[in-house]
Structure 1
Amino acid sequence: MKKLIALLGCAILVQVQAQTTNEKWDLRKCIDYAVQNNISVRQADVQARISALLAHQSKLSQYPSLNMNSGTGVRFGRSIDPTTNQFSTSQFLYQNFGLNTSIQIYNGGAIKNNIKAAVFNAQAALAEVERTANDISLNVANFYLQVLASREQVKITQVQIAQSQTQLEITKKRVEAGVLPELNLAEIEAQLANDSSNFVTALTGYELNILNLKGLLSLDPAIGFELEFPPVESIPLESFGDLQPELVYQLALTSQPLQKANDFRIKAAQKSILAAKGQMYPTLSFGGNLATNFSNSFKKTTGFTFLGYSPVTGAEPKVTISNVDYYVQNPLYRFSQSSRGFGGLWEGWSNQISNNFGQNVGINLSIPIFNSGQAKTAYQRSKLDLRTVELQKTQADLKLKQDIYTAYNNATAALEKFNASKKTVASTQKAYDYALKRYEVGLLGSLDLITNQNNMLRAKVQQLANQYDYVFKMKVLEFYKGQGLKL
């Protein structure tokens, strides 16, 4: 038995030495680290960044657009030469440049209201980040208090082992002196073994709670981790008078992130209705563009031979002078051509680009008459979207009120359980003290002593659990009040 106790002591010593090399973490540090590194919080932050980008992009939509275009290629077969506007059947190289701009002057307020809706949605996304961070903070506080409670349980089992060890030594001496039978010694040894098992169970639970807290913090389980262990009595708690459920609810309506996010979503939906309504009004825009082009045939004329004039057929235009008809005859030529090299294809590029340069400005008016009911349907749907968000807010507010009243009742019940457990501990402690005195004078058997000792241990463990449960439930009420977690 002594070897087992020594082995357990060595295990505790190794654990403490491994932890003392690391910086201690208090509850505030755990919460701050979780908010910065928890995956759920980081995912919500990514969504908020996306909403912020969409809001920024919507603001840019009110500025003029400016675009440049250019194209270069080769045309085959019958097509229109862009520089001569004549049909051509020969291959030619073409290139064009364009620069155009446009700005909406009036669009029924659609752009302005879309911008406001996007900004409200971005603010709602930020509130969602805060809500996720608050949820993580509550979970961290719960896990942190569980670690503290399990650590106290380890201490209680250590005290129990020390008491059993003392009883074992006393009983062994009395057995050797012939005052007590050997059965008493065997019963105390069995109790010491049971206490040692309870210690191992408590220590395992403590280590498991540490691992759970690491997982919530997104920490590597292999990293050394030591917590700051403030006395549970030093954790500040507000009075029940300052945490009345109706008062807490009224404060929570304006402070809880989910309620703020719903308010922003309602405002965004209202602006979306105005934007959808603006799509049914005429749109007036101003625009202009600059353009030029170039083209050149793959073949070039190297010379020609005059062949005379076309024969008169009577179908040609004619000019009458002194009652004499003179037909207009077309000269006939034979042209000789040769293929251009790559450099020759670009001959006259600068002159054509300069000569073909053109500009235009204008005002465009677009009046929606019939577009398959798309604008009207979008407007009606936007009003239904607003109704959906309003119902979501109503449901969230009702749930918030129910949660606050439930938390208040839970905190009240936890306080009553804690007070009752303190009385139980006092009673079982007194019973154990009387039993120990009677055992020492031989008026009580070891089995009865062990029973009283176990009752006292269970009462202390239950009191500890009730105390931490009461502290956490009070922290939940403080959280709903909107003042954060007071540490």
Structure 2
Amino acid sequence: MILSKQNIIIAAFLFLFTATFAQEPISWNLKECIDYAIENNLTIKQADNAIEENKLTKETNKWARLPNLNGNVSQGWNWGRSASPVDNSYTDIKTSNANFGLSTSVPLFTGLEIPNQYALAKLNLKAAIADLKKAKEDLSINVTSKYIQVLFNQEITKVAENQITLSQEQLDRGTEQYNLGKLSKAELAELKSRLKQDEMQFVEAQNNYKIALLDLTQLLELPSPDFFGIQPLDGDLGFDNLTAPTEIYESALLFKPQIEAAQLRSESAKRSIKLAQSGFMPKLSFSANIGSGYFTIQGQDSEAFRRQLSNNLNKYVGFSLSIPIFNRFATRNQVRAAKLSLNNQLIQLEDQKKTLYKEIQQAWYSATAAEAKFQASKSAQEANNESFTLMKEKYEVGKANNIEFNEAKINLMKAESDLIQAKYEYLFRTKILNFYKGEPIE
């Protein structure tokens, strides 16, 4: 079917229209952002792959006790001169032979190497799972930080927009006074300058909001911040008594994945010592095979293929015992290396515990400081808001000049900005502290 030029134009227009309006605006809450980030983050996917690799290693070691079974087939040809034992004459001879066989072996005793390898694989798998939990927790904290930064810049933008409204009202009033001859040209120019400065601050706040939103979408692995928005955090700020750092630490030791991973790797190091020590012990294995062959000489009659297979059938069973006597101190050094690795893992475990305690201490003191800052900022904002309301009333009846009004307005904007910053800092700090208590970030 041949499309007309008109149909092609209509189809192209519909395609562009669909591409432009197909994408609906979306608005996610914090939990949705965290869930999406975890699902699409490349580091998380790498940690998932590490778990799958450890599962394969565990499965391999699990079935190491089973017997193996191998089949073998060979075909060979020989040709050349051969001496006769009767008259010392030489003749050219060509032969061919084919061999068939099955063989199996079973490890009966490996110096406990197989059970130690399996136990080691299980510990490594658990450690990989703990690493994945830690990666998810770190990503959740990063998303929360970016999310709160977007909310902060969003509210700062609203404050800047309100300042423009106030400055515009002030300019409108000043223009009326100027037309009545009650305001000088210089004072009117000052009002216009103040409005332009507020507009510039609004543009800067908008840019900061867009950059914060871009940072969040990039962390979420979204292609673009267009058509994307976030929802405000639910709930009011509460000021319950904060749990002491030592209590939080004692509880966090029981479930934090970085501690679990370090403990599991210490257990793995202990198991590695036993694995290395298996090199000192003898190893016993059982093996068996069955085989047959077919042989022909050129120019001579040969038995039938089936008869030769029956006549040439051979069987073998046997046990093999390997006793280590001296291997140039290789096993001894492997045991020593495994013990050093255990010491390193125990040091890393202690380091993880100390790091966790320091993080909890810092989170606790930051939360208490943020709470105090929020309370002070709230009181300052209420005082400045009351002061600005009174100043606005005085300004509207002509009992205050532009300088006094602008000063009160600037003080109010600063107080509101400080309050917003203190609020979201407190929100973030308390969420981090609750995170160390085991509460999910939502």
- TM bucket (normalised to shorter chain) is 0.7 to 0.9
Q: 1:187, 1:447 within 8 Å by CA — same for their partners in 2?
A: no
Give 1:245's aligned residue.
245
Structure 2 CA distance, aligned partners of 1:263 and 1:478?
A: 23
Structure 2 CA distance, aligned partners of 1:144 and 1:158?
A: 21
1:455 is aligned to 2:411 = yes
Structure 1 CA distance, aligned partners of 2:362 and 2:69?
A: 59
Structure 2 CA distance, aligned partners of 1:196 and 1:230?
A: 28
Give 2:428's aligned residue.
472
Give 1:353's aligned residue.
309
1:215 is aligned to 2:218 = yes
Q: 1:19, 1:224 within 8 Å by CA — same for their partners in 2?
A: no
Q: Per-residue deviation at 1:89?
A: 7.2
- Matching residue within 337, 342, 367 for 1:411: 367
Which letter does structure 1 place at the counterpart of 2:274?
L
Counterpart secondary structure, 2:327:
coil
Structure 2 CA distance, aligned partners of 1:429 and 1:77?
A: 112
1:47 is aligned to 2:50 = yes
Quickly say closer, same or farther: Cα 1:223–1:174, change in 2 above 3 A. closer
Q: Per-residue deviation at 1:27?
A: 0.7
Q: 1:18, 1:224 within 8 Å by CA — same for their partners in 2?
A: no
Counterpart secondary structure, 2:96:
strand
Q: Which string of whole-angstrom CA distances, capped at 9 and with x for unpartnered residues, describes residues 336-363 of structure 1? A: xxxxxxxxxx983333223222111111
Quickly say closer, same or farther: Cα 1:364–1:274, change in 2 above 3 A. same
Q: 2:30, 2:233 within 8 Å by CA — same for their partners in 1?
A: no
Q: Per-residue deviation at 1:275?
A: 1.9
Which letter does structure 2 place at the counterpart of 1:58?
N
Q: Per-residue deviation at 1:157?
A: 1.3
1:28 is aligned to 2:27 = no
Q: Which string of whole-angstrom CA distances, capped at 9 and with x for unpartnered residues, describes residues 314-354 of structure 1? A: xxxxxxxxxxxxxxxxxxxxxxxxxxxxxxxx983333223
Give 1:429's aligned residue.
385
Q: Per-residue deviation at 1:372?
A: 1.3
Query: What is the TM-score when the length of structure 2 is the normalising length?
Result: 0.88
Give 2:208's aligned residue.
205
Structure 2 CA distance, aligned partners of 1:132 and 1:383?
A: 29
Give 2:256's aligned residue.
256
Counterpart secondary structure, 1:483:
coil
Structure 2 CA distance, aligned partners of 1:32 and 1:94?
A: 66
Q: Pick the structure with greater CA Rg.
A: 1
Structure 2 CA distance, aligned partners of 1:266 and 1:91?
A: 65
1:314-353 pair list within 5 angstroms: 348-353=304-309
Counterpart secondary structure, 1:484:
coil
Q: 1:238, 1:478 within 8 Å by CA — same for their partners in 2?
A: no
Which letter does structure 2 place at the counterpart of 1:400?
L
1:377 is aligned to 2:333 = yes
1:146 is aligned to 2:149 = yes
1:27-426 pair list within 5 angstroms: 27-77=30-80, 90-221=93-224, 224-230=227-233, 234=235, 239-241=240-242, 243-297=243-297, 299-301=298-300, 348-426=304-382
Counterpart secondary structure, 2:439:
coil
Deviates more, 1:150-159 or 1:429-438: 429-438
Structure 2 CA distance, aligned partners of 1:19 and 1:227?
A: 20
Give 2:87's aligned residue.
none
Structure 2 CA distance, aligned partners of 1:205 and 1:472?
A: 19
Which letter does structure 2 place at the counterpart of 1:215?
Q
Structure 2 CA distance, aligned partners of 1:239 and 1:386?
A: 43
Structure 2, unaligned runs of 5 or more: 1-19, 83-90
Counterpart secondary structure, 2:254:
helix
Q: Per-residue deviation at 1:396?
A: 0.6
Structure 2 CA distance, aligned partners of 1:401 and 1:421?
A: 30
Counterpart secondary structure, 2:280:
coil
> Which aligned segments of 4 or more residues in structure 1 are displaced greater than 6 angstroms?
17-20
Structure 1, unaligned runs of 5 or more: 1-16, 80-87, 303-345
Q: Per-residue deviation at 1:77?
A: 4.8
Structure 1 CA distance, aligned partners of 2:268 and 2:238?
A: 39
Q: Which string of whole-angstrom CA distances, capped at 9 and with x for unpartnered residues, describes residues 204-235 of structure 1? A: 1111111111111111016521222245xx16
Quickly say closer, same or farther: Cα 1:133–1:212, change in 2 above 3 A. same
Q: Per-residue deviation at 1:238?
A: 7.4
Q: 2:26, 2:227 within 8 Å by CA — same for their partners in 1?
A: no
Work out the number of aligned pairs and report it: 415
Q: Per-residue deviation at 1:472?
A: 0.5
Structure 2 CA distance, aligned partners of 1:119 and 1:113?
A: 10
Which letter does structure 2 place at the counterpart of 1:460?
E
Structure 2 CA distance, aligned partners of 1:19 and 1:206?
A: 25
Structure 1 CA distance, aligned partners of 2:333 and 2:92?
A: 51
Q: Which string of whole-angstrom CA distances, capped at 9 and with x for unpartnered residues, describes residues 439-469 of structure 1? A: 3333433133222212211221121011101
Q: Which string of whole-angstrom CA distances, capped at 9 and with x for unpartnered residues, describes residues 350-384 of structure 1? A: 33223222111111111110111112221222122
Q: 2:239, 2:371 within 8 Å by CA — same for their partners in 1?
A: no
Deviates more, 1:400-409 or 1:357-366: 357-366
Structure 1 CA distance, aligned partners of 2:30 and 2:131?
A: 23
Structure 2 CA distance, aligned partners of 1:229 and 1:89?
A: 96
Q: Per-residue deviation at 1:435?
A: 2.9
Which letter does structure 2 place at the counterpart of 1:108?
G
Q: Which string of whole-angstrom CA distances, capped at 9 and with x for unpartnered residues, describes residues 161-214 of structure 1? A: 111122222221122122222333222221111111111111111111111111
Query: What is the TM-score when the length of structure 1 is the normalising length?
Result: 0.80
Q: Per-residue deviation at 1:104?
A: 1.5
Give 1:321's aligned residue.
none
Q: 1:237, 1:475 within 8 Å by CA — same for their partners in 2?
A: no
Structure 2 CA distance, aligned partners of 1:20 and 1:159?
A: 31
Structure 2 CA distance, aligned partners of 1:236 and 1:260?
A: 33
Q: Per-residue deviation at 1:261?
A: 0.7
Structure 2 CA distance, aligned partners of 1:447 and 1:285?
A: 97
Alignment RMSD:
2.4
Counterpart secondary structure, 1:444:
coil
Q: 2:391, 2:400 within 8 Å by CA — same for their partners in 1?
A: yes
Q: Per-residue deviation at 1:484?
A: 1.8
Deviates more, 1:465-474 or 1:353-362: 353-362
Q: 2:133, 2:257 within 8 Å by CA — same for their partners in 1?
A: yes
Q: 2:29, 2:230 within 8 Å by CA — same for their partners in 1?
A: yes
